[in-house]
Amino acid sequence: MLTDALRMVSLSDTGMVRDLNEDSVALRPELGVAVLADGMGGYNAGEVASGMAVSTIADGLVQDWNSEALLTLDHNAAIRLSQSVLQTQIKAANAAIHAAAQNDAQCEGMGTTLVACLFYDNFLTVGHLGDSRLYRLRGEIFEQITRDHSMLQEQIDAGMISKENAHLSNNRNLITRALGVVPEEEAEMHSYEVRADDLFLICSDGLHGMIDEAQIADTLTMLRANLNMAAQQLVQAANDAGGKDNVSVILVRVMKSFAAMR
């Protein structure tokens, strides 16, 4: 049972500066699904966009990610199917958000970042757009798994800024890809093998933009036994550092192997 193998918690906070929380999160632990979105747009359009993203994708997976059909597939076929099913939901979410933006002046141009994770058969498939991130703590190694779609990342890739100096950049809020802003869009999609004791963190830039990765890694290492406390500590640390944006986290701890029963 996935709910025995995967422990999931989420926490989303408006932060210390913003009036509205335009981040959204959705968990479907029984299906191994975790989705986070950080919305943008005028008025409360960000909230609309991110809310549509997580509910369309989570509900879509509940419909289409059929574990019985999966039993006939081998490991690699299951990986391929997970990518295709997840991408289908993401494209549908993009279309829905884009259409809603066209129909409502207050939602014009709205969009959202996205990190959508699907855990199955000891692998994880993740689709992402924008600068919300997936990290993994495995043993003592804490690693950023997704690569930001942002101006800042392009500058780092081009050698213009070092990662250490990234916090000095004034381009931190510029992302290059998002969900809902163009008529057709798909996420960057990858699959990774997952081991028992892995701890995954999905977060919006309200976290990684306020506290450094060393502090995130230490917090997860020391509080892994209590995911709720770890989530609260991360959000608190971001708020103590200024809380300049909405901050949301999802933590997924792999308690044991979750090989598919074939």
Partner 1 sequence: MAKLILSFENTVLKTIPLDKERITIGRRPDNDIQIDNLAVSGLHAVITTIVNDSVIEDHQSTNGTIVNGQTVQKHMLQHNDVIELGKHKLRFLSDAPAYQDYAKTVVIRKPGTAEATVRAADVPTVLPPAAPAAPAAAPAAPAAAHAPVREATLQVLSGAAVGRVLELNKSLTTIGKAGVQVVAFTRRPVGYFVAQVEGEQPALFNGEPLGEHPRQLNDQDTVEIAGTKMRFVYK
Distances (CA, A) of 167 to 31, 142, 170, 249: 37, 19, 8, 20
Say how far apart CA 248 and CA 231 lie, in whole Å: 9
Listed ranges 13-21, 55-63, 72-80, 82-90: which one lies at the site for partner 1 (CB under 8 A): 13-21
Interaction of residue 19 with partner 1, rule CB under 8 A: yes
Say how far apart CA 105 and CA 127 lie, in whole Å: 29
- Restricted to residues 109-138, the positions that interact with partner 1 (CB under 8 A) are 109-111, 113, 130-131
For the CB of residue 139, give the shortest distance to partner 1 in the complex, in Å.
14
C-alpha torsion sign, points 75, 77, 80, 81: negative
Nearer to partner 1, 126 or 220 (CB): 220
For the CB of residue 241, give the shortest distance to partner 1 in the complex, in Å.
7
Interaction of residue 165 with partner 1, rule CB under 8 A: yes
- Please check whether residue 194 is in contact with residue 119, taking contact to mean a CB–CB distance below 8 angstroms: yes
Say how far apart CA 253 and CA 220 lie, in whole Å: 10
- Restricted to residues 80-109, the positions that interact with partner 1 (CB under 8 A) are 108-109
Say how far apart CA 208 and CA 241 lie, in whole Å: 11
Site for partner 1, rule CB under 8 A:
16-19, 38, 40-43, 45-46, 108-111, 113, 130-131, 151, 154-155, 160-161, 165, 168-171, 173-178, 181, 205, 215, 218-219, 222-223, 225-226, 228-229, 233, 236-237, 240-242, 244
